[in-house]
Amino acid sequence: MKRLLALLTAVASAIGLAALAGPPAQAATGCKAEYTVTSQWEGGFQAGVKITNLGDPVSGWTLRFTLPDAGQKVVQGWNASWSQSGSTVSAQGVDWNRTLSTGASADLGFVGSFTGANPAPTSFALNGVTCTGSVTEPPTDPPTDPPAAGTPAAVNGQLHVCGVHLCNQYDRPVQLRGMSTHGIQWFGPCYSDASLDALAQDWKSDLLRIAMYVQEDGYETDPAGFTGRVNTLVDMAEARGMYAVIDFHTLTPGDPNYNLDRAKTFFSSVAARNADKKNVIYEIANEPNGVSWTAVKSYAEQVIPVIRAADPDAVVIVGTRGWSSLGVSDGADESEVVANPVNATNIMYAFHFYAASHKDAYRATVSRAAAQLPLFVSEFGTVSATGGGAVDRTSSIAWLDLLDQLKISYANWTYSDADEGSAAFKPGTCEGTDYGSSGVLTESGALLKSRISTADNFPTS
């Protein structure tokens, strides 16, 4: 994406940040804490904590609990300012949830790591008052259940590239339609169990693109934490029968080779961890810009073997120059890729567009290129290339009709409540429980939901 949302970085506070300033914490007279480990993998886990104030209103709060095993660490948290001293973990309310009226709740979450056992905490205190509540012990093994019957991933199985198409386990061309996250460092509340249930069941989305920024307070600040968060979202998509596109979201600087070593480390880890899954697609460079196709190709030919060493079967999406426009935004076109393709198999090429900015010339390029290259629209917006402005409904529909006609898969930017025109939800609504009604959807969200939720009719013979 071509924008920064610095004012939202508090959404996913990194460990070690100073607690946000606010009114002095008031004494709580009663509280309930519900702790649940939502997923677990080798050496890591994701947990949620729901706290409910049962006493007088408080205008500032701190939740504290003790991790029972010395090897347990909080790696990354959201919806609070998190810190850890020894085995004691503290989570302090932030701007939007600092005040808790009587009966009000706050949903917190974090990704953790462990080296020995991973027992759940048994005692929680809100402003020094011990809470009642419940604890759900973590699973003993990583989730291994296949996607639910009848879901996109269950019907189509392991995907692969055949000719210029994305094909399913029956060697039939398929089109996946879904949504992209915004930066997971900023919008953690938008990717809860409830919101992803809605995405899979109400929106009937086939895929979730997981946008893991590398710079901009992303992966480079905490490689282990962001890797764990991506893996958790892969599991959450798998459990709901959706495909997961793991997006190495590079943007600035535009030359992906700047992050080559980071990419090798990251993809080596996630490919090894997810190799047995059939729902994973790897997108190795979001939007190369200010760089030649030769440089992008060189990067791809160094990263793809790292993935193939662990996961030989998954589809890999390669970014193209000019912000993944096949070079159109740089005054070029698809011919440079056709003449000098990446030396690898089972790959697709990314094409990104923003409907209000990119119109007939871009659509003409896609129409030509689709006859020679396997394309995947891994990101697009209904608004301008800034991510803001009004929805261009006419251009958006023309694009969606073209992608449907050509059976090109797509992910819309974004399944978030960012304060910008491209967001699917109105600002602040991810904190609620409604992810599909007209009351929470923006114009862009309503348009995309209406397109995505129509029947897929995947071929099986």
Give 113's contacts (C-beta < 8 A, 6+ positions apart).
43, 44, 45, 71, 72, 73, 75, 224, 228
Burial class of residue 193, CB neighbours in 10 A (0-12, 13-18, 19+)? middle
CA geometry: angle 20, 25, 30, nearest 5 deg: 130
Dist CA 427 CA 420 (whole Å): 8
Dist CA 412 CA 379 (whole Å): 6
Q: Which of 283, 287, 336, 420 is flagged as catalytic?
A: 287
To the query of whether residue 287 is one of the catalytic residues in this protein, the response is yes
Query: What's the DSSP call for residue 96?
Result: T
Sheet containing 44-53: give its strands across: 73-78, 105-113, 44-53, 31-41, 132-136
Dist CA 46 CA 35 (whole Å): 11
To the query of whether residue 379 is one of the catalytic residues in this protein, the response is yes
Q: Hey, what are 206's tokens?
A: 């086939």
Where are the extended beta strands (E) located within 316-454? 316-318, 347-354, 375-381, 410-413
Backbone angles phi, psi at 77, to 5 degrees: -130, 165
How, if at all, do strands 165-167 and 280-283 pair? unpaired
Q: Which of 216, 334, 336, 379 is flagged as catalytic?
A: 379
Helices (H) and strands (E) in the chain, counts: 10, 20
Q: Which active-site residues does the annotation give? A: 287, 379
